[in-house]
Amino acid sequence: MNGKVILVGAGPGDVELLTLKGKALLQQADVVVYDKLVGQGVLALIPPTARRINVGKRANNHPVPQHQINQILLDEALAGNLVVRLKGGDPFLFGRGGEELELLVKHGISFEIVPGVTSALSVPAYAGIPVTHRDFTSSLHIITGHTKSAPEAEIDYPSLVKLNGTLVFLMGVSAMESICNGLLAGGMPPDMPAAVLERGTTAHQRRIVSTVQNLVCDAQAANVQTPAIIVVGRVCALAEQFHWAEDRPLGGVRIVVTRPRELSSKLTQKLRTLGSEVVELPSIQTAAIENNTVLHSALNNLSRYGWITFTSPSGVRIFFEELRKMRQDIRSLAGLKIAAIGSATAHELEARGLFVDLIPNTYNAGHLGAELGAVAKGMRVLITRARVGSHELTAALDAAGVPYDDVPLYETLYTCENTDMVRTQMENGEMDYVAFTSASTVRGFVGAIGDFDFSQVNAICIGEQTASEALKHHMKTATAQAATIDSMVDLLVNLRRQK
């Protein structure tokens, strides 16, 4: 049975401009075929089970010709796969979506189109340029800078000038001189405001606002590179009043978040709300230990314990999933006092109707063990955590003479997706910070990136143990005042203010 092809507009770069429908279909894909203009945040949403095919194209560099891309889509659909074709911007606005459908239609392949947010509207908006404004213009015209058969499009410049509207040229950076000369020859005033907008909606977006007469020289002086768009019209002059994206507390900052995928959403959302571009690169994942007889024995004998201790939100989730499998509920914990290593773990317990009796003043294993050892005299402690956990917790209990059972709940596995993409950005100096929420995320990140000069990495660390691990690899570290997500975010905002 044949599969299906879905052309999804990935938007201009900012992952939050991907449509809800596009995201939902992307996460169901068997195969994802994508371009270079697709933002890193969007690529990070591709499920690990999906096979990726990079057919990236940039100006004057087409490693995979269009006819081969069309054939790839057909072959994958004929193999029965759900294929998502991720295209930067919108599939039908100079995106060759129509060409890709022709071969599919010829062979009777089912398809769908998911429109995307086009850079023609979104990039000017992120630069503070409204493409229409009643005091300046009521029309918008979108033009391609090159065509299939020629490096420069044949454009009727005199007619464009007479329209007196905002002109947006896509894929026109290499033809900028020809475009500006054509507009001037067509009768456009030399002092008409014009702008070139580079890498719009991303952390490193730039705008160069000039005039039609001077735009080429100003763009060359700024060393403008693709992807970029050209905007011509009086509305360009409004950018000085209306710029906003880079003014946010973390505007212009690109951050790698290394938390496990199931835990990254809170940190990621806070960072994006403050204006940063976030690339999610989960460097560890947790896997529940199967046939965990040690845990099952402890759950069948909970009356032996006076305290139960949790050291991570993942541990809480896995513990209660195992409890459910054994047909036990929270009533089996009656009489037990509960300790949590920090606020995030405590919140996970509260979500299940349990309030903790102890959170250490400093959120780490050593302080948890010391404070627990002071209050658990004469009682046995059940520790539930990763198979390889910090020895500082048990060492503190040993020192206090408190007996315990150290029960493993899960394995910590080191894994990284999108590693090549992040590595390339770090090599190019395009990654501002990497956020680490545990020593294990540091180890996973280092293992995935491989041979690299990590002294170039600005590490934002949740606590001293995490910072200590980062320092082993010569990273430049900054440590949150408290071991919480909010404190990490505050640290980033303060670092941004100091620049």
Give the pair of three-digit tokens for residue 34.
């994508």
CB-based contacts of 232: which residues, under 8 Å, 6+ apart?
Answer: 166, 167, 168, 169, 183, 188, 192, 193, 194, 195, 212
Active site residue 337: no
Active-site choice (23, 57, 266, 270) = 57
Active-site choice (14, 87, 90, 171) = 171
Measured CA to CA in angstroms, residue 445 lies from 120, 285, 390, 469 at distances of: 36, 12, 19, 11
**For 107-225, where are the alpha helices, taking DSSP H only?**
119-126, 157-163, 176-185, 215-221
Active site residue 426: no
CA distance 463 to 459: 11
- Torsions phi, psi of 254, nearest 5? -110, 130
Active site residue 87: no
Active-site choice (35, 90, 426, 475) = 35
Determine how β-strand 206-211 pairs with β-strand 193-198.
Answer: antiparallel
How many other C-beta atoms can be found within 10 angstroms of the C-beta atom of residue 430? Answer: 16
Give the pair of three-digit tokens for residue 466.
């995490």
Give the pair of three-digit tokens for residue 154.
């044949």
- DSSP for 285-311 reads EEEEPTT-HHHHHHHTTGGG-SEEEE-
CA distance 187 to 196: 20
Would you name the residues annotated as active-site residues? 35, 57, 171
